[in-house]
Structures are given as structure tokens and as C-alpha cells.
Amino acid sequence: MKKRIHAYFSGRVQGVGFRFTAENIAKGLGLTGWVRNAEDKTVEIVAEGDENSLEDFLTRLNDYFSQYIRDRDVDWQEPSGEFGDFRIEF
């Protein structure tokens, strides 16, 4: 089943390759959406794909950046289908 996540990661998540790693993981899992640095020093992600792939995406990010992530807030939503790929937004 297709789902959408809107997530915020806080901690020391900027300047450690978080966006580039998220993009690579998302593309490898066939997800669509985007990742960007927010002005409040968090990283924001909107991603769509099948639920298992989204859960795998979140697990991989947590595993890879566990020493940098202080908190995460994930909101599960219905997908919009608006994205053609996954990209880094600047």
C-alpha cells in the first residue's frame, strides 16, 4: 500500500551528509519526494512509496545517523502522487 511520510529530524543533522545519504537510500528503494535543510537546523523529508519501503528508509536513516539524530517526528499521510523522483531541495 502506498503511503507518504512528512518527517523532521533534529540533532546534529546538518553538515554530516544527511541529505545526500537520504537521497541515495530513497532512490535505491524507489521512493519519490524530497529532502531539505530547514532554517531551524532540522532536516525535513517528504517521501512517498510503499509502506515497507518507507519504514526501511526510516530505519536506514536512523541506523546510519544514530549518533547525530536527537529526535524525529514522522507524520504518516495518504500519498498525493505529485513527485516523479526523489531529490534534494535547496
Local mean pLDDT, 10-residue blocks, the chain (90 residues): 97 97 98 97 98 98 98 98 97
Coil, strand or helix at 69: strand
Mark whether 70 is an active-site residue.
Answer: no
pLDDT of residue 88: 98
pLDDT of residue 29: 98
pLDDT of residue 39: 95
pLDDT of residue 72: 97
* 57/70 Cα distance (integer angstroms): 17
Mark whether 52 is an active-site residue.
Answer: no
In the chain, count of helices (H) and strands (E)?
2, 5
pLDDT of residue 77: 98
pLDDT of residue 22: 98
Distance of CA 65 to the CA centre of its chain: 12
pLDDT of residue 73: 98
Order across the sheet with 86-88: list the strands.
Answer: 69-77, 2-11, 43-50, 32-37, 86-88
Choose, from 36, 37, 60, 87, the residue flagged as catalytic.
37
What is the second-level CATH architecture of the domain 2-81? 2-Layer Sandwich (3.30)
pLDDT of residue 53: 98
